[in-house]
Amino acid sequence: MKKMIKFAGIALIFAALLSACSNAKNNTQKKAETAAQSSTIEASDSNENEPNTENITQAVKQLEEKFNSDEKLVKIDVKNNVKDDTSDNPHAVITVKVINDEAKKNMEEMQTAIDSNSGTEAQKTAIYGIQLNVEEVAKTLENDNDVISFITPYTNGNDRTIAKSTKNENIIPLVK
């Protein structure tokens, strides 16, 4: 019985992720409204290093379309003018964080299995699909230093970064 419940949970998250991976463009206006309601863009003082907020907003909309297609699975936050270990230059950091409890549980199970080299092809495909979606949107960013991260909270209270990309590279290598 436990195996059946576990398989059903994995199948559910896999189906949700596959729908997130699709490039369906219908309901664009509805999704754009959802993106505007659920995204947080922190404004900063105007200066020469001001990020292209239109480009960042467009990236957030694309991420909303990919990961929140049918239901609210993730929350997207944006921080501008960040200086961190990724770059000394001010840049935007877009964080996609899993908020759906079932999705969090399944993401943790999938990533743990992959980390221990016991991940199934379905698990690898689901994680790979997330990484490809993050990479695809990151390539549309105008600033080479802007970063998109896909994060899932683990039950131990820590966050795990599943995908992290800039315009020119995948900081976290793609699952093979």
- Looking at residue 39, its pLDDT comes to 40
Dist. CA 2–CA 61, nearest whole Å = 38
Contact assessment for residue 94 and residue 59, using Cβ atoms and an 8 Å cutoff: yes
Beta bridge partners of 14: none
- pTM of this prediction? 0.71
| Neighbouring residues of 133: CB distance < 8 A, sequence distance ≥ 6 | 20, 21, 63, 66, 67, 163
- Looking at residue 31, its pLDDT comes to 37
Residue 171, SS3 per DSSP = coil
Cα-based angle 156, 159, 165 (whole degrees, multiple of 5): 160
- Looking at residue 146, its pLDDT comes to 93
Q: What one-letter code names the amino acid at 114?
A: I
CA 134 to chain centroid, in Å, comes to 6
Q: From first to last of its 176 residues, what are the pLDDT tens digits of the chain?
A: 444 344 444 444 444 444 444 433 333 333 333 333 344 444 344 344 455 789 999 999 999 999 987 778 999 999 988 877 777 788 899 999 999 999 999 999 999 999 999 999 999 999 999 999 999 999 999 988 999 999 999 989 899 999 999 999 999 999 98
Dist. CA 163–CA 160, nearest whole Å = 9
Reading phi first (left if > 0) and then psi (alpha if -120 to 50, else beta), residue 127 is in alpha
> Which structure tokens are listed for 144?
């080479």
- Looking at residue 163, its pLDDT comes to 97
Name the residue with tokens 């490809």.
Answer: 132
